[in-house]
Chain A
Amino acid sequence: MLPYGQIAPSDMLLALAIPAPASPFGSDSPGSDSQLLARIADDRDPQALEALYDRYARPVYSVLLRVTNDRHAADELQQDVFLKLWRNAQAFDRTRATALPWLLTLARNTALDRVRTKAERQRRREFGDDETSTALQSAQHGSARNDEAWLDRRRLAEQAAQALKELPDGQRRAVELAYFEGLSQTEIAERLDAPLGTVKSWVRKALLRLRDDLGGAS
């Protein structure tokens, strides 16, 4: 097994070459993301990056903050994620409707890489929930956004949150530990004090249910 073999920032490079299937993220207005990415890749246009940043800064930042529990780290990683977008825009499959899944995958993997160090883990244990809630609360700026795309994303976010909430407790916790903390199934079993076979079953059932629930979200 390779180091960090299960979580790969570069997974996206493979995914980007895949024709777009039906997406729970729905579809943007025709070509908008892909046009911006083309301007970045072909013209090195910083305004195009700025437009994508304005469009997706919040969901990306939300994942970074949820994974790291650290506002300063999230600030830094937010730049790293969009810098990778700037450097690798040419790798994005322009037939795909939206860059958001790509960015969220990139954000998650970048953040998990950061918190995998022992020191980070130790610090998170020590400051754990208090800092999490403080960081999250302080970050939840109340800027009044009501543009259509943002509302669509919030609607999908609420559906995702609701879909997770409706999962049985074990299934939900297993998926959250895997997604936000990057734990293996063995680690999840230890954390939840559950048999490995049960955890595997939880994860599998949860993912299939999320697929069914979110597949019709668009």
Chain B
Amino acid sequence: MERERLQSLAMEYALGTLEGSEREELTDLIEIRDPAALEALAQARETVAAVGLSAPDAAPGPEVKQALLARIEREETQTVFSPAPRRPGWREALAWALAAGMLVFALVSRRQVKDLRIVTEQLNTRQEALIAQRDGLLETSDRFDRILEILSAPETRAVSLDGDLRPRVHAYWNESLGLVLAGADLPVPAQDRTLQLWIVPKQGAPVSVDVFRPDDAGAALLVAQSATPISAAAALAISDEPAGGSEQPTTTPVWVGPVS
């Protein structure tokens, strides 16, 4: 491709306005990591990013930075210590206050102390449940952030997996970010069975990606990572396997989708 045209397409791509066959033409070059296309894209991103500098100068308040650093500290703490340690909060303060109160009540009534101890234990139990709930929500949030990243990346490949008399399953595969598999109204396998996603390479045996089970409503959302390059894959397939999965498919795949 002529250099000037390549640069022009790359800048439109970076701006987000490149469409249709021209977009496909450029993404094909990016996918095969054509050096000229990658260099043009890098330059284009810097040119387009400079447009952002034309925005009116504005500064965040100091509280934004403080909140950011607090989030990072919290994230690091959770990374180093898993599960997340309990952090002092108003519930814990309340528990301590109640504990202190118990000492006072001990002078008055042993019965009252006993009652307060029960209340304290209930509060602690409730606190632990809330912490677990919060950790679960954070995990879900991170998972959906990753899905959004995969779905929104331009180099992500969409693959439709078809099967006889069954709903279609959709996969979105990004070589560097991972693979998202989504389906609805899927048949739920028996308790001792599971569904298993495979990459069928152009040469060689199928490679297992992950096992999954649709929920009771038949919905499935799998996020997985694969080391297999997209260019080496001929198809994605899903088979019904014994619980825990198999090293190689033991049944005929229920869904198959070519990776074009």
A residues near B (Cβ < 8 Å) are: 2-11, 13-15, 17-25, 44, 46, 49-50, 53, 57-59, 61-63, 65-66, 74-75, 78-79, 82-83, 86, 100-101, 104-105, 107-109, 113, 136, 139-141, 143, 153-154, 156-157, 160-161, 163-164, 175-176, 178-180, 182, 184-185, 188, 203-204, 207-208, 210-211, 214-215, 217
Contact check, B65 vs A141: say whether CB atoms are below 8 A apart: no
Q: Give the complex CA separation of A158 and B176 in angstroms.
A: 36
Q: Which of B18-72 contact A (CB under 8 A)?
A: 18-19, 30, 38-39, 41-61, 63-65, 67-69, 71-72
Contact check, A210 vs B47: say whether CB atoms are below 8 A apart: yes
Q: Give the complex CA separation of A164 and B47 in angstroms.
A: 12
Q: Which of B14, B47, B76, B152 contacts A5 (CB 8 A)?
A: B152
Which one, B96-104, B154-162, B234-242, is touching chain A? B154-162
With most chain A CB atoms within 10 A of its CB, the pick from B18, B69, B72, B148 is B72
Contact check, B68 vs A78: say whether CB atoms are below 8 A apart: yes
Contact check, B42 vs A15: say whether CB atoms are below 8 A apart: yes
Can you report 19 A-B residue pairs in the complex whose CB atoms are below 8 A from each other?
A4-B152, A9-B149, A9-B153, A10-B176, A10-B177, A13-B177, A14-B176, A21-B39, A58-B58, A61-B59, A66-B52, A75-B60, A101-B45, A107-B52, A136-B58, A160-B52, A203-B12, A207-B11, A208-B7
Number of interface residues of B (CB under 8 A): 59
Contact check, A153 vs B11: say whether CB atoms are below 8 A apart: no
> A154's closest neighbor in chain B, by CB?
B57
Q: Give the complex CA separation of A78 and B34 in angstroms.
A: 34
- With A13-B177, A156-B53 in contact, do A8 and B17 touch (Cβ < 8 Å)? no
Contact check, B15 vs A203: say whether CB atoms are below 8 A apart: yes
- Extra inter-chain contacts (15) besides given A2-B156, A59-B55, A66-B56, CB under 8 Å: A7-B152, A8-B154, A19-B39, A25-B50, A61-B59, A62-B55, A74-B60, A100-B49, A101-B46, A136-B56, A161-B54, A178-B17, A211-B44, A215-B47, A217-B50
Contact check, A83 vs B72: say whether CB atoms are below 8 A apart: yes
Q: Which 3 A-B pairs have the closest CB atoms?
A: A139-B58, A66-B55, A157-B53
Interface of B is mostly: helix
**B181 within 8 A of partner (CB):** no
Q: Which of B19, B47, B51 contacts A184 (CB 8 A)?
A: B19
Specify which chain A residues have a CB less than 8 angstroms from the CB of B151 in the assembled complex: 2-4
Specify which chain B residues have a CB less than 8 angstroms from the CB of A101 in the assembled complex: 45-46, 49-50
Q: Which of A6, A15, A86, A163 contacts B16 (CB 8 A)?
A: A6
Specify which chain B residues have a CB less than 8 angstroms from the CB of A50 in the assembled complex: 65, 69
B residues near A (Cβ < 8 Å) are: 7-8, 11-12, 14-19, 30, 38-39, 41-61, 63-65, 67-69, 71-73, 75-76, 148-156, 158, 172, 174, 176-177
> A179's closest neighbor in chain B, by CB?
B51
Task: Give, as a whole number of angstroms, the nearest-CB distance from B31 to chain A.
Answer: 10
Q: Give the complex CA separation of A5 and B151 in angstroms.
A: 8
Contact check, A182 vs B16: say whether CB atoms are below 8 A apart: yes
Task: Give, as a whole number of angstroms, the nearest-CB distance from B12 to chain A.
Answer: 6
Contact check, B72 vs A86: say whether CB atoms are below 8 A apart: yes
Q: Give the complex CA separation of A22 and B48 in angstroms.
A: 14
Contact check, B16 vs A7: say whether CB atoms are below 8 A apart: yes
Specify which chain A residues have a CB less than 8 angstroms from the CB of B149 in the assembled complex: 9-10
Specify which chain A residues have a CB less than 8 angstroms from the CB of B174 in the assembled complex: 10
Q: Which of A79, A164, A203 contacts B68 (CB 8 A)?
A: A79
Contact check, A75 vs B55: say whether CB atoms are below 8 A apart: no
> A212's closest neighbor in chain B, by CB?
B47
- With A19-B39, A78-B64, A215-B47 in contact, do A113 and B148 touch (Cβ < 8 Å)? yes
- With A14-B176, A79-B71, A214-B47 in contact, do A9 and B52 touch (Cβ < 8 Å)? no
Contact check, A108 vs B11: say whether CB atoms are below 8 A apart: no
